[in-house]
Structure 1
Amino acid sequence: MEHFRGLPFPLAVATLFVIVLLRAGGTYALGRAARSGASRTRVQRLAESPRFERAQELLARWGAPVVVLSFLTVGFQTLVNLAAGIGRMPLRRYLPALVIGGAIWAVLYATVGLVTFAALARLYQLSPVGAVVGGLALISGLVGYIVWQVRRNHRSSGHWSTADVDQ
């Protein structure tokens, strides 16, 4: 993190952009490669998870915009790129979404992400206990919000599966 804060802003964004392109593009490539030989592997177990099924459903319904928007999430981004690879999303649709989403992620991470990290580091210097308690409160609030959203969506839409997309 310290390395990026020392770079000029355009160089920090460019470096983060290359990193996210390699990471997300690699996840997509892994999905494409694993599609045929995924049985009895960790990729297969991941592909059978409810979150992965949700990513596939969203990709089937909305396509490339889901890839772009996934870069605004944590964790789900990886599942979306893997689902795009396993689902063999055409490169002519995937690559523009990857570039746009990656650019958004790099700018956000170079601004908000690094500032947040610096603020947490400074808070930790002033009060380690306060930083830990504050971090736990933020994480608890985020988890609570996510659980509330999932329960609310589950109740309003009923149980879903990827088979529902074809209907």
Structure 2
Amino acid sequence: MPAWTDGAPFWALFAFFFAVVLVRTQATYWLARLAAAWSAGEGPARRGRPRWVLRAGGWLQRASAGRGVRAVQRWGLLAVPASFLATGTKTAVNGAAGLLRMPFGRYTAAMVVGCLLHATIYATVGWAAWTAALSAATGSPWGAVALALLAALVVVVVVRRLPRRRSGVR
């Protein structure tokens, strides 16, 4: 096992996880806010919009975005830090905050609380679970087989989700 995984200092892990989630949630908020503004006609004409804006606009129509919007409408600012405590809700709620144009100062204050929660959980319990699983998997032949099967499963899922290309269409 690499030396950096053993006895990693808490504050280094905390800072890493905090920075990652801070950048990710700010990006989600701003992308959703920009896509919402452009879909409302506040940006360049549809032809002049980058493809990612159109894709983000498509995301805004999905069920997860609707659940995020309903959570923010129901719980307001409290939905933002609470989203960091449940798997799969950060993107929906932080995107909904951008979509609903939650004021940036209030959003950021609530988001920082959520980032602190997230970093604390991942730097303690999450890191311990990860290192224990990695140690168990690499310490036995069956663990190596399980890792290989997991990697194969991930590849199969990713390949099956890729958009099907029609012959001759690019």
Report the TM-score when normalising by structure 2.
Answer: 0.69
Give 1:128-143 correspondences, 5 Å limit.
129=142, 132=146
Bigger helix fraction: 1
CA spacing shift, 1:6–1:126, aligned 2, 3 Å:
closer
User: In structure 2, what is the equivalent of residue 124 of structure 1?
Assistant: 137
Give 1:2-151 correspondences, 5 Å limit.
7-38=8-39, 41-127=54-140, 129=142, 132=146
Tell me the distance in 2 between the aligned counterparts of 1:56 and 1:32: 13
Tell me the distance in 1 between the aligned counterparts of 2:112 and 2:119: 10
Matched residue type, 2:70: E
Q: Is the 8 A contact 1:32 1:86 kept in 2?
A: yes
**Is the deviation greater in 96-105 or in 83-92?**
83-92
Unaligned regions of 5+ residues in structure 2, if any? 40-45, 47-52, 151-170
User: In structure 2, what is the equivalent of residue 143 of structure 1?
Assistant: none
CA spacing shift, 1:19–1:6, aligned 2, 3 Å:
farther
Tell me the distance in 1 between the aligned counterparts of 2:96 and 2:137: 38
Tell me the distance in 1 between the aligned counterparts of 2:82 and 2:122: 15
Matched residue type, 1:20: V
Matched residue type, 1:97: A
Matched residue of 1:63: which SS?
helix
Distance apart, 1:129 and its partner CA: 3.4
Per-residue displacement from partner, 1:100-152 (whole Å, max 9, x unpaired)?
0000000101111111111111111233535839x98xxxxxxxxxxxxxxxx
Q: Is the 8 A contact 2:67 2:92 kept in 1?
A: no
CA spacing shift, 1:18–1:36, aligned 2, 3 Å:
same
Matched residue of 1:124: which SS?
helix
CA RMSD of aligned residues (A): 2.5
Q: Is the 8 A contact 1:5 1:114 kept in 2?
A: no
Unaligned regions of 5+ residues in structure 1, if any? 137-167
Matched residue of 2:85: which SS?
coil
Tell me the distance in 2 between the aligned counterparts of 1:25 and 1:128: 42
